[in-house]
A and B are shown apart, each in its own frame.
Chain A
Amino acid sequence: MPSWTWQGLRAGRQTTRYPKRPPEPAELGMSWPSLGAAEFSAELAASCPTAAISASSQGELRIDYGRCIGCGICARHRPEEIAMLRRCDVASTARAGLIAPELLGPAPGPLARFRGSLHLLHFDAGSDGGEESELQQLVSPAYDLHRLGIFFTPSPRHADVLLVTGSPTAALSPGLLEVYAAMPAPKWVVAYGTDAVSGGLWSERGVDAYLPVDLYVPGSPPSPLALLRSLLLWLGKEVVDT
């Protein structure tokens, strides 16, 4: 029988140095449309499959990163002005903080001085499985979430945070509310992935149509590092981004 322990040790360190060192380019994950000098037009807005593009009251271009799935169609409409850029810093504690160009990163939340470990309960309310795949990578050696004192628990009784994926479907939203009710207070909710943030391609309803959301992490799906980073900032921890 081969020795798995020996093999595991021999492989050496495979975990990202983040948050002590800046992320590697390969860890950034999804690409987002940069606005640059692009101007709003109705035709540009109509090109977007998730209706993420709109105009401000002054007629300036706005992109709702809470709806954007990073498909790149708008960038092909305006190749001179809009570029797709890899970034892992799209997240906010306020839904309005996801409207580019005025992005607000995650502000330190109520747990900012919290010294203990954080327990997350994952609830799939209708995702396409991408977020789940990334959550599994997040606990694998490449990101090793546990080293940062953040753990998953299958029990609502032990959970501080409900981490929801997917735009809640009719069949799963009652379960979502039940699980939330079973969690002891104080409790918080994270919407992980564009579908959970806004409904994305499928609906107009994100998780915040059902529960108060404390942290929004959009993306289709957001990279493991994007979630790691937003949780750390929300916990008031330091991260080295550049």
Chain B
Amino acid sequence: MNSLTNTSDESVATSPIPTMPAVEFIEQPIADVSTVALEDIDVSNPFMFRQNKWQSYFKRLRDECPVHYQKNSPFGPFWSITRFEDIMFVDKNHTLFSSEPVIVIGDRPADYMLDMFIAMDPPKHDVQRQAVQGAVAPKNLAEMEVLIRERTVDVLNDLPVGESFDWVEKVSVELTTRMLATLFDFPYEKRHKLPYWSDLASGSPEMTGGMIQADERVAGITDLMTEFSQLWHTKAAQKAAGEQGGFDLISLMQSNENTKNMVDTPLEFLGNLVLLIVGGNDTTRNSMTGGVDALNEFPQEFVKLKNDPSLIPNMVSEIIRWQTPLAHMRRIATQDVELNGKTIKKGDKVVMWYVSGNRDERVIDNPDQFVIDRDKARNHLSFGFGIHRCMGNRLAEMQLRILWEEILQRFENIEVIDKPKYVQSNFVKGYTELRVKLTAKNH
């Protein structure tokens, strides 16, 4: 078992910024699930995905104990919900299951005080979400499509053909970063700060078993705040001077009654920025990589795709299901709830494992197979359901669709030439490296 080890010493006390003691996960081999007692199963282990043990662990829970209590994980006691229908029930019933104060398995460190609407219940959630969702509404996206395609084409045209390179770095990170810069109208030359901030915000060991230490996070978040306050004030000045506001998020916030003074409530402002940066970053990035990985594992699907590119939209949904870029969301029960024969007590932590529900053979045929023309491919859990359902789902789908449309124009094959490397986390299911080699298409 891995454990949450306290590696801090006086270096923390002398740090200029007050921070949590450092915690770190040490990787150890995860036992075969058949050798573990049911009550000892702990799917919060941040190495589950890296060691490829997640499928067997979640299958056992789905079959033997779909509503499972782990009483002493490094993140405290929690319930795991692993079947599709039960996850739907929890996600839908936002009055029984609160999203406050955070939506990842671990609790937030004392200095991590971001307010984001993904972690708010109604009515506050609704007000804040409605203020910003126009930015990623399909109507606005139609206007962004041309720009996103141009930027995708630029990235693909620059790729080396016939030699090994890292798809994560050169394609997935680069494209999501450009997209975020577009969405925020963030200074293009500084755009590389965006994914860095995202990694900081979602990678704390206490919350998701990640590797980012508190002092680094605090410094990064302070920088984020400075940059975005500047951007806000620049845009406000342009608006005051009579310039037309753009379709970017900051301009939209400024022209909405409910959010036009958000810069004055820094924690909320920051929270919403971080939410959109994180929301739009790891998720899309890892779907961009996951698609390549999946098509290599299931080469006959690549053939199918090349024969019929009209399958792209359906494949995009299948990629997002197969990958499940966010493995879970967590809730707190607001009252005692009976679920699948268990009683979840008021105040208990409840984790919906989308990554498991998306492989639930009760609802999805051959769930471990990647099938680009799968029937009802859109009926997956990766975007969640209910009032917190992903706000950026159409944007994500559009980016992936464009990416694959442009890939098929240029490349005959994308061959994965080394074992993928995975993120250390129980929340972000993704890649740190995927080495590939491209074959150009004969025109």
- Asked if chains A and B come from one complex, the reply is no
